[in-house]
Amino acid sequence: MSCTTGDRSCDVPRRRGALLVLGFMAVVFVLLSVFSFVDSRGQATPDQFEHKTFTADDGKRVFQAYNCMGCHTIVGNGAYFGPDLTNTYEQAGPAWLEAFLPSAGRWPTEAAVRTRLNTPEQLANAGVGSFDEYLQKYPGAAERLERRGGQPTDMPNLPFSQDEVDKLVAFMKYTAAMNTEGWPPEVRVGDLNRRLALAGRSVAPAQTATGAHETATSAPESEAAAADPVERGKGLVAEHGCIACHTTDSKRTVGPGWGGLFGSEVTLADGGSRVADRDYLVESILEPDADIVEGYPPGLMPTYEGLLDQDEVDAMVEYLVSLGAQEE
C-alpha cells in the first residue's frame, strides 16, 4: 500500500520520523553543550600560565591595547607585516623577551639577556640554572643573539612599562603551550649559501653566542674608547641594554632619565633624599634597591653586581656624569 495525496494514513509515520530526527538532534545538542563546559578537554587555558605575578589574561589585554595584531599573528590570526608570535616564548624564552620588548627598535645583545638572568629568581622564572642552560633550553634565543644581536629592527619602541612587559611574557608563555595542530608551518629555505652564491652574494660564517658578545664588546674596547671613558661608558650602556629603560634626557620611562641627573638631589621612597654623586651612581648600578627612588617599586632594576668589572662601572658612571653637568 502506498501513500497518495490527501491520504491521512501516512501522516502518523511521517510525524513519528520527524519526531525521532528532532529528538536525535536535541540529544546531540545537549551532549555538545555539556561537553563545551568541560574545563579544558586537554587544551592549555590562560588561567594555567603566569609570569611573575601576572596571568596570561593580563597579557592578552596588553596585546590588544597596543593593537599588536595590526602587525603580528597568533595562530595565524592577525596581520602579516611582522612574524607570527605563537611560539616565540618556546623558542626564545622569557629573558630574551624581557630584554627585547622595552627597546624593540634594536635586537637585544647577549649582555642584555644575561642581565635578565642575574638573580636566582630570574633564573627560576626561566626554569634554568645558568645562562648557558638558558641558551640550550631556548635555542631560538641563541640563534637571535648570533644573527641579529645589537642590530636595528623594523619594530618601533613602544612605551611598555615593566609590568606590561611581564604581562606580555605571560600571554606569550600561554600561546606557546597551545595545541596549534602544526601551526605555524615549518619554513623550508633549502641551502641558503648555495642560493645566495647563485645570486652573486655570500654569507658570513655564523658567530656563536659568545662570539656575538665578543663582537659587541669589541667596539667599546677599541683604542679610542679605551682612551675616553665617556665613549667607553656609552658603548657599555648600549651593550647592556640600559637604554631600554632609561633615556639620555630627563624624560621618565621605565626608569628615570639620565639628563641632568648627576649632581641633582634625588627624593627617595622612604622620604629622605640623596645627592646623585658618583658614589650614588655606582650604588645604583650595583645595588639598585639600596635606595629606592620615589615613585618606583623595588626590584624594578636588575643588579649588575658580578656582570661588570669595576673599570666598566666607572666608565658607565663617567658617561652618566657627561649627561648631567651639575658638577660637585
Q: How far apart are the C-alpha atoms of 266 and 274, rounded to whole Å? A: 5
Could you tell me if residue 32 is inside a domain?
no
What CATH code is carried by the domain that includes residue 103?
1.10.760
Give the Cα-Cα-Cα angle 279, 281, 287 (nearest 5 degrees): 90
Same structural domain, 157 and 234: no
Other CB atoms within 10 A of residue 232 CB: 24
CA-CA-CA-CA torsion for 238, 137, 82, 205, nearest 10 degrees? 70
215 vs 276, more confident: 276
Task: Name the domain boundary from 141, 159, 177.
Answer: 177
Could you tell me if 116 and 108 are in contact, meaning their C-beta atoms sit under 8 angstroms apart? Answer: no
- Is 5 part of a structural domain of the chain? no
Reported as a single tens digit per residue, the pLDDT across 147-173 is 998 888 888 888 888 899 999 999 999
Inside any domain, residue 211: no
φ/ψ of 27, rounded to 5, equals -65, -45
What are the tens digits of pLDDT across the range 183-233? 667 766 556 566 556 655 554 444 444 444 444 444 445 555 567 889 999
Choose the final residue of a domain: 158, 177, 196: 177
When pLDDT is cut at 50, 70 and 90, the band that residue 133 belongs to is very high
Cis amide linkage into residue 184, ω under 30° from 0: yes
Q: How many domains is the chain partitioned into structurally?
A: 2
Q: Cα 241 to the chain's mean position, in Å?
A: 13
Within-domain flag for 105:
yes
**Containing structural domain, residue 156:** 49-177
User: Is the Cα torsion angle 140, 240, 65, 44 positive or negative in sign?
Assistant: positive
Domain boundary among 177, 209, 237: 177
CATH number at residue 285: 1.10.760.10
113 contacts: CB under 8 Å, gap ≥ 6: 95, 96, 99, 131, 134, 141, 145
**Is the entire prediction scored with pTM above 0.85?**
no
For 242-251, the pLDDT digits (tens) are 877 888 888 8
User: Would 280 be classed as within a structural domain?
Assistant: yes
Residues 140 and 256 in one domain: no
H or E segment at 95? Answer: helix 88-100
| Half-sphere exposure for 58 (CA within 13 Å, toward CB) | 17
Q: Please give the distance of CA 300 from its chain centroid, rounded to a whole number.
A: 16
Q: Same structural domain for residues 172 and 228?
A: no
228 and 161 within one domain: no
Q: Are residues 166 and 252 in the same domain?
A: no
Q: What is the CA radius of gyration of the chain?
A: 28
pLDDT of residue 273: 92
Question: Does residue 103 register a pLDDT over 70?
Answer: yes
